[in-house]
Structure 1
Amino acid sequence: MKGWMVMAAPAALVFVGAAGWMAFRGAPDAPDDPAVPVMPATVDVAQGETLYADSCASCHGANLEGQPEWRSPGPDGRLPAPPHDETGHTWHHPDRVLFQYTKLGGRAALALQGVDFDSGMPAFGETLTDQEIWNILGYIQSTWPERARRVQAERTAADLANGGN
């Protein structure tokens, strides 16, 4: 099962593996509130990988490794970009939070949660479509080990059950 997660695998194999994971994961029912974003039942993992390389890798690393000392604030008070692989905390968050953080940027996404903090994460809502953001998130999630994907899917389901609150 882990063979399809190897970064050097052909894009078709990555897409097939991720599609199987999405089917296994199941697309949760969308809450009644249209403001709560829900990952589509299908994503283009190959496009997500390309978009990640173009839009995210300069900060989060070509191999999703993040910046050094990502848990320690820099002189400006901002935290360096965290890893998006299983060593980071990305998989600890539900899809809604990951989507909002990417689309709106860190400050605006955190404000939705009642937190006043500038994380330094820029907003990509003006440069990427919603589907492109989901494709990037689908790519990132496709690289996680099964346990991390399962835990993250459970957190997403719980978040949806609470209407995104």
Structure 2
Amino acid sequence: MSAEVLAQGRQVYVDQCASCHGAGLEGQPDWKSPLPSGRLPAPPHDANGHTWHHPDDVLLRIVKEGTAAIVGGGYESDMAGFGDVLSDAEIRAVLAYIKSTWPERERSYQESVSQAN
């Protein structure tokens, strides 16, 4: 990925994602435990989270449509879709930035599930 795309992705992350997912991609505290609302806190996007478990097409859809739209079955989430805010290119750039922060093991795994999909 080019340095320009990664820089754009980092800026999109800072502008649109960091307020919930953390400046260091660390997510919200106790992200696996439901909030009083019953919804889960924002997960980390670093190697401690589960973002790297998902193929690219699922990650793109989550950002574009929102988590509840992808999970379905009445699932509720505070993660709204950003399809009206971000272009597909901006979403791909932010995903490239996030992936660039992962250790090799997580990057390789995520690449393999993306190719298998």
Q: Which amino acid aligns with 1:137?
A: L
CA drift at 1:120: 1.5
Please state how far the C-alpha of 1:158 moved relative to its aligned partner. Answer: 1.1
Q: TM-score, normalising length from structure 2?
A: 0.95
Q: Write the deviation string for residues 16-58 of structure 1: whole angstroms up to 9, x where unpaired.
A: xx449xxxxxxxxxxxxxxxxxxxxxx8110000010000000
Q: Does 1:110 align with 2:71?
A: yes
Output one character per residue of 1:56-107: Cα deviation in whole Å (capped at 9) or x when no partner. 0000000000000000001111000000000100001111111000000111
* TM-score (normalised: structure 1): 0.68
AA in 2 matched with 1:157: Q
Alpha-carbon spacing, 1:66–1:126, altered in 2? closer, same or farther (3 Å):
same
Deviations 1:129-164 (A, max 9, x none): 0100000000000000011000000111111xxxxx
| Aligned twin of 1:47 | 8
Q: 1:155 aligns with which of 97, 100, 113?
A: 113
Which of these two proteins has the greater Rg computed from alpha carbons? 1
RMSD in angstroms over aligned alpha carbons?
Answer: 1.4
**Structure 1 unaligned runs (5+)?**
1-17, 21-42, 160-165
Taking every aligned residue pair, what percent have the same amino acid on both sides? 54
Instruction: Write the letter of the residue equivalent to 2:54.
Output: H
Aligned residues: 117
Distance 1:144 1:48 in 2: 14
C-alpha offsets along residues 103-132 of structure 1, whole Å, 9 cap, x if unaligned?
A: 001111223xxx430122111000000100
State the secondary structure of the residue aligned to 2:41: coil
Supply the distance in 1 between the matched residues of 2:68 and 2:102 (Cα, whole angstroms).
26
CA distance in 2, matches of 1:149, 1:91: 7
User: What is the aligned partner in structure 2 of residue 39 from structure 1?
Assistant: none
Unaligned runs of 5+ in 2: none
Separation (CA, whole Å) in 2 of partners of 1:135 and 1:89: 19
Q: 2:98 aligns with which of 136, 140, 144?
A: 140
| Distance in structure 1 (CA, Å) of the matches to 2:74 and 2:110 | 25
